[in-house]
Amino acid sequence: MKKILDFIDGMNIWIGQVFSFLILILMFVIMYEVIGRYFFNAPTRWSNEISQYLLACVAMLGAGYCLVHDDHVRVDILHRNFGPQTRALVDILTFLLVLIFVTAILWKGGELCWDALIHNKKSMTILELPLFPSMVMVPIAGCLLGLQGLARALRAFFFLTGDPEFIGEKEIEA
């Protein structure tokens, strides 16, 4: 089981690291727009849309990566004062909330993604980019976040049951 959970961690870390380079592309797109607009009085018509798509992709695909590294939002003022067993129990209960959220993302995001694909929907801008590539990031991100939440909850469960393989998990003791 530990190998499966480590694979989920590794997959989210790899995806987070690979797609983090989109931030550099985003930076260059915005920099190009700023230089063109303010120094040459020649704004572009495409930079805003491209930067929105890039930012959405980075934000969506970074959710699982964020959860692997324990960088998500929570009430640390309470969480840091809990003991390891209480933290593990909170992680298990939190997964139930994550599961509800991920289910909604997969359901509605999948519907919108499928609709954009079969109807060949395009953006209503001058670029008329197909919407499917950006919309497919929503269910993909939902899957990655759901898997990472499940991995975290299973680690917490095995920690609570006293499985020696999971006693030293950093997520529980951090």
The two three-digit tokens of residue 29, written as one number: 């797109």
Give residues with Cβ within 8 angstroms of 145, minimum separation 6. 63, 64, 67, 98, 102, 105
> How much is the pTM?
0.81
Chain segment 123-164, per-residue pLDDT in tens: 888 888 899 988 999 999 999 999 999 998 998 898 888 876
Q: Are 70 and 171 in contact (CB under 8 A)?
A: yes
Q: How many domains does the chain have?
A: 1
Distance, CA of 43 to CA of 57 (rounded, Å): 24
Give the model's pLDDT for residue 109: 92
Q: What is the pLDDT of residue 126?
A: 84
pLDDT digits (tens, 9 = 90+) for 53-93: 999 999 999 989 998 888 776 666 777 778 888 888 888 88
Q: Inform me whether the pLDDT recorded for 113 exceeds 50.
A: yes
CA atoms of 20 and 7, how far apart (whole Å): 20
Structural domain containing residue 45: 2-173
**pLDDT value at position 124?**
87
Q: For residues 61 and 137, is the Cβ–Cβ distance under 8 A?
A: yes
For residue 33, pLDDT beyond 50: yes
